[in-house]
Chains A and B, each alone.
Chain A
Amino acid sequence: MSANETPVPANANGRVRTERSFIRFSIGQRWEHGLFLLSFTVLLLTGLPQKFRTAGWSQYILSTPERLETIQTIHHIAAIFLLAEALYHVSRATVRLFQRRLNGEMLPVVQDVRDGIKMLRWLLFIDREKPSFGKFTFEQKFTYWFFIFGTTIMIFSGLLIWFPVLFTRWLPGGIIPAAKLAHSAEAIAAAIFVVMWHSYHVHIERLNLSIFTGRLSEKEMREFHVREYTRLTGEPASPPDGESE
């Protein structure tokens, strides 16, 4: 990823402050996130009323058998989109990894465990210095792998309960109720994770819209991705003015 320098207008005369921004996500990655976000939301919204079918609020939504059918159809359509996105993502990543066009920084390594421990030490006021990260912070990598795990479970368990007769031709029958249980429980885990963990990190800690805009400002780069900033610019990423302790 290269720093993208905006040419400074000749007549700016110091009144115009230019802010460098860094490309963080490609247009394809941004579309992938959009598709995932959309299908995830639709799946959650159409799945929860089915999970809690005996609850009053669910029966308010699923007020007729036809509505139940409609919501199941929507769920299945969204599932196809999610499946397509997951297949595209995994196959593209695999191919690019083997072509050495992907540096593999997203793969889990021992350093992540160390980063996690460091982060925890900082959070518990044991360490004074906030640990520095590369392009992806420990939390962002954790989010990524949590979704990889969750999506894998949801896709396999979802397909099993969508086509139970087909799969039990080869698989033991007991896998169907197990898949139903897993689909139901993993959905709750994912919902909790998105609502608490992910929305804290991208909305409350700071509004991070880089997955939509594709760019991250220099200020944010220096604050949150110190190692990446240094790698790209060769400059030390001492925190911006006024932010230092």
Chain B
Amino acid sequence: MTPTRRYLSPLLLIGLALLSAFVLAAPAFADEGPQQPRLQESECLGCHTQPDLEVELASGEILPLTIDSERLAGSIHERIGISCDSCHPEITGYPHPPLDYTTRRDLSRAFYLTCRTCHASNYVNSLDSIHADIAAAGHSEAPVCTDCHGAHYTQFPDEPRALISETCGQCHTEIYASYKDSVHGSALIDQDNPDVPVCTDCHGVHNIQDPRTALFRIESPELCAGCHADPVLMAKYGFDSNVYSLYSISWHGVDVEVYKANWPTIWHESAVCTDCHGVHDILPASNPDSTVSPQHLLATCQQCHPNAGPNWTGAWTGHNKISLERTPLVYYTNIFYSSFVPFVLVLAAGYVLLRIIRATVERVRRNLP
């Protein structure tokens, strides 16, 4: 919010200046022609609260026109005084202009554009989303503003927070079903946990990108690291916040780092977090059903290393520092080489230095008279 705040004061000044200009110029405008009288909401609701008010579209679809005035009164727009004509400016009286839409979907796709009058930046972002892409490819069922936020009875989309994922789940039913049972989803739905990710935390909100691209894949560990490398947040749950830093120096992690730095759009196979832990169905590693539980770990490895035998899982140093208990072979190798390499360096350098000194002294002595 800080960048916006910077622009607030000049904007406020300009706003004040314009306002005073209007107030001063008001008498001059008043005479200019008959002004369109604003349609009062009560006038609209006079008809639109009647039950069974509906119209048949060209396709034969029935478009219900009844508004629940109580629910409407509770919507966020209504609470701040935005009334019918703000979104339906074409309606200025009765009879209304004809509805030139074949299907209800056509109508929705045309009417939602009115949102951008106020929510311009969110609208522009949504044009950059995979939803806009698939709509452009001819799939009119791709969601528009009103599909997620509702049309007349709009509420805050994150009250409660679980509502966000539920909203996505309206279309993404299978993914939502597996998410619901995951460690993240269950904490969200059962405990209203404020820390676990909802769909939009990983996928973005209005400019949702295709998560199946090489770019999304290569950047996905960073996405997990957003929370799992946060020491404060992880300490709250007793988790180790070094998992990401240790991963990024592991065999898989180095590969991913290099691809991310050089070839982010080239598909790569080295394991990222979700390859082993699952995507929407992530379970705690301590859960026996988890893909990384001792019972399932080998099968998880075998997805990429099909011929791996039971010993294979021992090759995984995990998200753990080198330790005697967990990885004794690596531990001893590390001890040996962390002294052997400096030893070789000192030995070779020292010995050669001594030889050079000795040889120089010999030479000087020989040339002395």
Contacts and interface: CB of A to CB of B under 8 A. Distances in A.
A180 interface: yes
A177 B268 contact: no
A176 interface: yes
A232 interface: no
B337 A181 contact: yes
Nearest to B347: A197
B341 A185 contact: yes
Contact of B344 (A169, A181, A193, A204): A193
B14 interface: no
Given A178-B333, A181-B333, A65 B352 contact: no
Contacts of B341: 185, 188-189, 192
A107 interface: no
Interface residues of B, number: 48
Interface in A60-75: 62-65
Give the interface SS of chain A, mostly helix, strand, loop or mixed.
helix
Interface string A42-66: 0000000000011000010011110
Given A59-B261, A164-B315, A205-B359, A178 B337 contact: no
A63 B266 CA distance: 13
A124 B257 CA distance: 49
Given A164-B315, A189-B340, A174 B359 contact: no
B311 interface: yes
A3 B261 CA distance: 62
B150 interface: no
B330 A178 contact: yes
Contacts of B315: 164, 168, 173-177
Interface stretch (B102-110, B113-121, B301-309): B301-309
Interface of A: 53-54, 59, 62-65, 120, 122-125, 164-165, 168-178, 180-182, 185-186, 188-189, 192-193, 196-197, 200, 204-205, 243, 245
Q: 7 closest Cβ contacts across the A-B interface?
A: A173-B314, A185-B337, A173-B315, A176-B315, A178-B329, A196-B348, A197-B348
